[in-house]
Amino acid sequence: MGQPADRKIYLVLDFDECLFDHPEGLEPYFGVSYGETAIRLGCPLPRDEAIALARKSFQERGLSHYMFEKFGIDIKQLYNETHPYFFENYVLRFKDVISQYNNAAYFDNQNIEAAILTDGTTYWAQANLELMNLKKFFPDERIIGSDLLDYTFKHETKNGFLMALKSLGLTDDDLKEKRGSIFFVDDSVKNLKIPHDMGFHTVQVKKKTLETTHLEFIDYQYPTLWGFLDDLYAGKLAL
């Protein structure tokens, strides 16, 4: 890994499948956690059907909680309560794997200022950062979950991006002056248009399949966050 140039680099990072690489075997427990939490909140479905509905909701709508609203469940409450349940009951089964992640060197530099903007909850990022041995690089004010944004999401509004900039000591005016040093990184294409329009350099990271058609609101594409940071720190990007 190269070292950043002698100038500030500002990073706003998505969390899941960007900063937090899910360990093998974790993915199925997302649906399990939503289904089990929904039942606890009053969903009348049997466990297997509730889990299947959570997975269908994720596949069709991008998040696992939406389709439980028809049962009179407060889906914001469902979203908020699922994350600690998921962490405590399932993620901790993988703690030995997650704690072996070794990415601290990417952030242990005075020229790097980083914040997290996630469609998950603030708790979810905080708890997993502790397991990843990265929490010291992300103080609480730089971890922005959807619960701090009234459960609105990145593709819907620029409010989270403005909050992330503020946590880094920046404003949207700084995007014009320091654009070459301010990046937003996410695995989801739909989350990149708003920050690009605001003036961020946008980076899509996707392990499995990168977009094959160039989209004007994606500036860079990499299989992983770490590959992007390697090139950024080594000065290989034409900014």
Angle between helical axes of 75-89 and 28-40 (0-180°, round to 10): 120
Task: Return the CATH number at 134.
Answer: 3.40.50.1000
Q: Do 176 and 209 fall into the same domain?
A: yes
Do residues 107 and 161 share a domain?
yes
Q: Is 23 within 8 Å of 97 (Cβ atoms)?
A: yes
- Predicted confidence at residue 196, as pLDDT, reads 95
Domain-embedded: residue 1: no
In this structure, the answer to whether residues 193 and 109 fall within a common structural domain is yes
The reply to whether 175 and 60 lie within a common domain is: no
The total number of structural domains in the chain stands at: 2
The tens digit of pLDDT for each residue in 212-231 reads: 457 899 999 999 999 999 99
DSSP E strands in the chain: the ranges are 9-13, 112-117, 143-144, 182-186, 201-205, 220-222
Do 80 and 111 fall into the same domain? no
pLDDT of 108 reads 95
Domain boundary among 75, 94, 113: 94
| Cβ pair 5, 111 in contact under 8 A | yes
pLDDT above 80: residue 28: yes
Model confidence pLDDT, tens digit, residues 134-165:
999 999 999 999 999 999 999 999 999 999 99
pLDDT tens column, 95-140: 999 999 999 999 999 999 999 999 999 999 999 999 999 999 999 9
Distance of alpha carbon 221 from the chain centroid: 16
DSSP 196-215: HHHT-EEEEE-SS---SS--
Q: Which domain holds residue 137?
A: 9-21+101-233
The last residue of a domain, from among 78, 94, 110 = 94
Shared domain for 116 and 215, answered yes or no, is yes
> Sign (positive/negative) of CA torsion 135, 140, 144, 146?
positive
Residues 115, 57 share a domain: no
